[in-house]
Structure 1
Amino acid sequence: MAGPTTAERGERQQESSDPPLPRRRLRLSRLRTIIILAILLVLLGAGSVWLLYGSQWTRVEKVSVSGTRVLTPAQVRAAADVPVGAPLISVDTEAIEARLRRKLPRIDAVDVVRAWPHGIGLKVVERSPVLIVQKGGKFVEVDDDGVRFATVSEPPKGVPALELTPARSGSSAASLRRFGEDRLVREAVRVADAVPAAVARHTLVVKVRSYDAISLELSDGRTVAWGSGEKGASKARTLTALMKASPDARYFDVSVPTAPASAGS
């Protein structure tokens, strides 16, 4: 009996090499799914780009301000110069923050946030004065970092005056040359921060003669020799105890907190 012809053998080999029909259909189905998903992703991406950059729905229409105490919202908005009408996504929030700090030194911190779909929020933290320096007929406010941030015509209530009175010769002059005026101001701030609350309410002047010769003048005429800004917590405790022990004294010295002294009546 004759065997299969060459053509028949070729057909059988072709049939054996072709994948089964269900498998081919599965591959085609997967390919169609991939193509459809790719098209959908492209459309979604294009739609998102249009929505964020081209649509009128996500453009800046409102700038809100919160946290102001001395500054007005109008001043903050003017300094921020937010590009109203621009796509919200394109607003450079870091540039706005830098602009606000540069134009309004009273601002200690600011957070610029996007309020979708139409707003920009400016959350401001203002500096608070802990000391004031009289300069002519004006007053310079100094914050708790020693930063002189604003000049005002009226001194804020309850804020002590800072007097820098270093001598032109001797140890006070040497202290000024060594530390510089800015460092002496920061030391005065350290002292003002450390003074007990009961004493701080009556403190009119923080006087700096040198780095380690800082004193307080109180509203009732009493004086406190504080020394340097070091060991502030210990000096505060000592001063509180000393004032209780000598309520009629007019002068208190806590420059060495382990050896305090009081005098006068």
Structure 2
Amino acid sequence: MAGPTIPQRSDRMPPAQRRPVPPARPRRRLTRRGALALLAAVALLAGGVLYVLYGSPWLRVRHVRVTGTRVLTPAAVRAAAGVPAGEALASVDPGAVAARLRATLPRIASVRVQRSWPDAIALEVTEREPKALLKKGGKFVEVDADGVRYATDPTAPRGVPLVELTGAARSGSSDAAYFSTAVLLHSAVQVAADLPESVHSQTKFIEVGSFDGITLELTRGRSVLWGSPQDGRRKAVALTALLTADAGAAHYDVSAPSAPASSGS
């Protein structure tokens, strides 16, 4: 015969300490009428949100604010942005506005377009900075550090060096077999971009005789033999040091940046 079974722990507990097990709650099922009511509430809420965003008279474009301009005027930027007054703020496409601005105003390097609730569009503009000038047809073409030609002026902007092809480079001989005019001009722009601002503002001309024969003409009749556009940052550091150490010199040579030299007075 099997021995006596061991009673369960709950059986050994006094009746007063036993906890009654609550009955399982029946699951509530959403009735068809309740489901329809819920869908109607969601639809009403969505319709209300859409009305507020697109139909409300309080969330429409009343202002287009422009910041960051230097040469461009805020009025010109607003006109190029083409954001109609009274348009629902939510329907304005910032990407499309930015694309219109860059296409219409090449002087703009970048622009940040933001909705400014409840009634404004904010345009934060960054303009290109001229690093060199190219002369064409009696006018001056501004070129930025990336080599982008973005504006033409009847007069040369102050403090921006003019690029000139001289000697063999102008005649098309010498380097022409290896370097096109476009490459030579781009090399000069690269040199201009490598110059620190303190030197850039003193540079009147960047003369390109050949790919390895680039010369700078500074204010007060000073000249700099730069050489090729390679090692531009090192050459800029060497030239800055020379201009400080020998400010009275007339000629500087940084074509070999590890051995810069100055002469004349």
Match in the other structure for 1:228: 228
TM-score (norm 2): 0.79
Q: Identity of paired residues, percent?
A: 50
- Give a deviation string over 1:239-262, Cα, whole Å, max 9, x none: 344445655542222212234444
Match in the other structure for 1:118: 119
Shift of the 41–249 alpha-carbon distance from structure 1 to 2, 3 Å rule, reads same
Match in the other structure for 2:135: 134
Shift of the 33–74 alpha-carbon distance from structure 1 to 2, 3 Å rule, reads same
Gaps of 5+ in 1: 1-19
Amino acid at match of 1:66: T
Match in the other structure for 1:5: none
Shift of the 59–235 alpha-carbon distance from structure 1 to 2, 3 Å rule, reads same
- Please report how far the alpha carbon of residue 106 of structure 1 lies from its aligned counterpart in structure 2 after TM superposition: 0.7
- Give a deviation string over 1:57-106, Cα, whole Å, max 9, x none: 22222222111111111111111111222222222222211111111111
- The DSSP-based 3-state class of the residue aligned with 1:235 is helix
Match in the other structure for 2:109: 108
C-alpha RMSD of the superposition? 2.8
Match in the other structure for 1:212: 212
| Structure with the bigger percentage of helix | 1
Greater shift, 101-110 or 187-196, is seen at 187-196
- The DSSP-based 3-state class of the residue aligned with 1:50 is helix
Match in the other structure for 1:143: 144
Structure 1 CA distance for aligned equivalents of residues 152 and 227 of structure 2: 28
Structure 1 CA distance for aligned equivalents of residues 88 and 197 of structure 2: 50
Amino acid at match of 1:176: F
Match in the other structure for 1:68: 69
> What does 1:26-105 align with in structure 2 at a 5 Å threshold?
27=28, 36-105=37-106
Match in the other structure for 2:199: 199
TM-score (norm 1): 0.79
- Please report how far the alpha carbon of residue 207 of structure 1 lies from its aligned counterpart in structure 2 after TM superposition: 1.3
- Please report how far the alpha carbon of residue 135 of structure 1 lies from its aligned counterpart in structure 2 after TM superposition: 2.8
Shift of the 42–133 alpha-carbon distance from structure 1 to 2, 3 Å rule, reads same
The number of residue pairs the alignment matches comes to 241
Match in the other structure for 1:172: 175
Shift of the 198–61 alpha-carbon distance from structure 1 to 2, 3 Å rule, reads closer
Structure 2 CA distance for aligned equivalents of residues 245 and 120 of structure 1: 51
- Please report how far the alpha carbon of residue 124 of structure 1 lies from its aligned counterpart in structure 2 after TM superposition: 0.9
Gaps of 5+ in 2: 1-22
Shift of the 100–36 alpha-carbon distance from structure 1 to 2, 3 Å rule, reads same
- The DSSP-based 3-state class of the residue aligned with 2:204 is strand
Structure 2 CA distance for aligned equivalents of residues 94 and 196 of structure 1: 34
- Please report how far the alpha carbon of residue 186 of structure 1 lies from its aligned counterpart in structure 2 after TM superposition: 3.1
Shift of the 29–167 alpha-carbon distance from structure 1 to 2, 3 Å rule, reads closer
